[in-house]
Structure 1
């Protein structure tokens, strides 16, 4: 029973040993080169047992001078590991070299040396085009201002023009609409008494008279009566006669409407002829107070409509148009100037950001280059140290085999058992591929960074010069004192 239990425990131990075995004879590590695990390798090759077996057979011979086949197997396994490590070393070197090549300094140097001066040239060209555009707009503004000032001087105008805004125009048109509606409603009520159609007939007649009264009065005030404000005596006389003609027309029109109201609806005569006859024979012979009210309301509304037309634009004909053209030219010039300066400012900022970014990129790549070179050198040093570890592991494995062999022998062990094994080192690649490469790169980076700083300063200088030339255009075409007060 005990024998069966011991066999079962031995089987479990073997299973546990199997589960606990590593898949390779290396010590777990995160390093590139894994150290040989002497104990695991010794167990895998069964060196202690094989050494004892060969020692009990007195092998190798005491006079032997070279390694026996077991020792050769140990050396071959470690040499194989060395070759694997060397392959890893070369692969890592290739990776570092590829990353160094990918930094591509020379291409960046060429692009910066070409693009940085071009950016300054493009900025200067953009500033020149903007200056030409601004000069043309300023010349047109100056011509418009000269035209307006000449007009003011010839017509002896010292006040600013009264310009109508959209709000004022809508307000005045709204006033006309209100006058029209009120006059139609009032006149329709008065005329319904004398119209056979009653209230509808009165409203139809009132609509026609109100439309004519309001529209004609507004148009008279809009154009002919405004001639009174002109300095020219002929225009002033035309405006005065236009005012008299308008007043006569307004009086006659509203008197005719009042006479129409007093004609009874049952008279079998032509109402229009009768009203015209009364207007010619006895124009002011109105017998009812409501007729006089109808006349007065129509005349007042007519005068209000005429005044609305008179004040619809600047009273002095032609002055408002010149003022609008000058303001439009001034607004276009100011807007263009602001846009051009902002555009140059954006170009300057973009160029400065690009140059600063290129400078930072070179600094980052230089740091990466230094880090890669240090890592490359560290890799070589690790490979050297790893070969030393392989040598120590090989001697440790040989020592396991030889000690077991000595203990099992009855004759002296060979003399070479006391000599350590010397691993043939694989030469490493030089840490610096070119000893002067780093210094040349440092100088090139500094030169290019100096170039970027110089060109960035040149862009800022070009911006200041361009803005100065834009101001010189204003000095070339100075504004009048009135224009300065307006702006």
Structure 2
């Protein structure tokens, strides 16, 4: 070939070399992407992780059973105490246990009675008091506190009247009698004190005691009787309010309250454990689904890499054909011009087409997965994940049954001894 022909061939082959280098770079990139998929490590991790999830779930169930077992024992003891109390005192009913709102309302009523009695009595006692209404309210507050407080305390003791013990009945009866006597005496004394305060400046207390001994009912002023009636009314309301705060049978409400607390603790822990297992189940289920989805994504990327690599090799072969054609076209243009310009016969090589030396490109697939085998392994692994999800659901249902049937695991001691439960 002459200089021009050599330059044409050199340019075409240089383009082929550059394209070949680019293809080799792309093949290395595709090989790195395939290696990064690392299916074998993924399969191994899933085979280890799936049973580990079941094992961890079972461990949580066992731990929950141990904790719940202790609470169930505590509940059984509270039930035994409750049953024994009812048998001992021959009670055929449940205890009347009031809630926090009920007690708050009762205490609020006592505080309201104390305040109203202090204000009303203060308006009466302010008559003849050197400090006026303020002094009367101060004295009235002391009387009201004593009136309401005594009614409250004696009502608690009078509740012993409903007890089956004779001694406690006597205490309750004595407390009731003491309340009646104290309420009448205290409010009569307060009424006499109001009348005397309007006429004397000092020594009112001694005169009140003299009146109570000589003529306790000798109230001359109608307002004094009103004063007395208000005090008795408020005292009776406070007495009844104190009695209705709890169950009428002494001690029964406390036993029932302890039983209710143990039941709430037991049911609360059971619900908390079940909710915790539900969260673990959902978390494992999401992890299994994510692993399943990841395998599908990796398989899709694997297929895309193989398809694109095969397409690139075909395009390179086509590119070499195109380069050879382009080289022959350029040589043909030059040779036609050369023939027209020369005076001698054209060289024989002008009739011989250019044959470019082809470069074969092969991808190293020795370390790669066979596509059909890979699909089979992925399908088997995904079936394993699906099986593990079903197994976790089954373990969850089994755990719930164990928690719900814990009463059978902690039977009543009377049943163990062969006796019939109450």
2:82 pairs with one of 148, 151, 160: 148
Distance 1:428-1:251 versus aligned 2 partners, 3 A rule: same
Quick one: distance in 2 between partners of 1:185 and 1:89?
A: 103
- State the 1:250 CA deviation: 1.2
2:162 pairs with one of 207, 229, 240: 229
Question: Over aligned residues, Cα RMSD in angstroms?
Answer: 2.3
Q: Give the match for residue 159 of structure 1.
A: 93
1:187 pairs with one of 105, 121, 130: 121
Distance 1:71-1:130 versus aligned 2 partners, 3 A rule: same
TM-score by structure 1 length?
0.79
Quick one: distance in 1 between partners of 2:197 and 2:322?
A: 137
Distance 1:458-1:400 versus aligned 2 partners, 3 A rule: same
Distance 1:181-1:447 versus aligned 2 partners, 3 A rule: closer
Structure 2: where are the runs of 5+ without partners? 413-422
Quick one: distance in 2 between partners of 1:460 and 1:69?
A: 81
Q: Are 1:138 and 2:72 counterparts?
A: yes
2:304 pairs with one of 366, 371, 377: 371
Q: Are 1:126 and 2:54 counterparts?
A: no
SS in 2 for 1:159: coil
- State the 1:120 CA deviation: 1.0
Conserved 8 A contact 1:196-1:265: no
Q: Are 1:335 and 2:268 counterparts?
A: yes
Count of equivalent residues: 412
Q: Are 1:357 and 2:293 counterparts?
A: no
- State the 1:244 CA deviation: 0.4
Quick one: distance in 1 between partners of 2:130 and 2:229?
A: 24
Conserved 8 A contact 2:27-2:363: no
In terms of mean alpha carbon deviation, does 204-213 or 178-187 score higher?
178-187
Higher relative contact order (CA 8 A, sep 6+): 1
- State the 1:218 CA deviation: 1.3
Q: Are 1:173 and 2:120 counterparts?
A: no
- State the 1:112 CA deviation: 1.1
Q: Are 1:419 and 2:352 counterparts?
A: yes
In terms of mean alpha carbon deviation, does 147-156 or 353-362 score higher?
147-156
- State the 1:451 CA deviation: 2.4
Distance 1:110-1:278 versus aligned 2 partners, 3 A rule: same
Q: Give the match for residue 406 of structure 1.
A: 339
- State the 1:240 CA deviation: 0.8
Quick one: distance in 1 between partners of 2:44 and 2:234?
A: 83
Quick one: distance in 1 between partners of 2:136 and 2:332?
A: 137
Report the structure number with the largest CA radius of gyration: 1
Q: Give the match for residue 419 of structure 2.
A: none
Structure 1: where are the runs of 5+ without partners? 1-66, 480-487
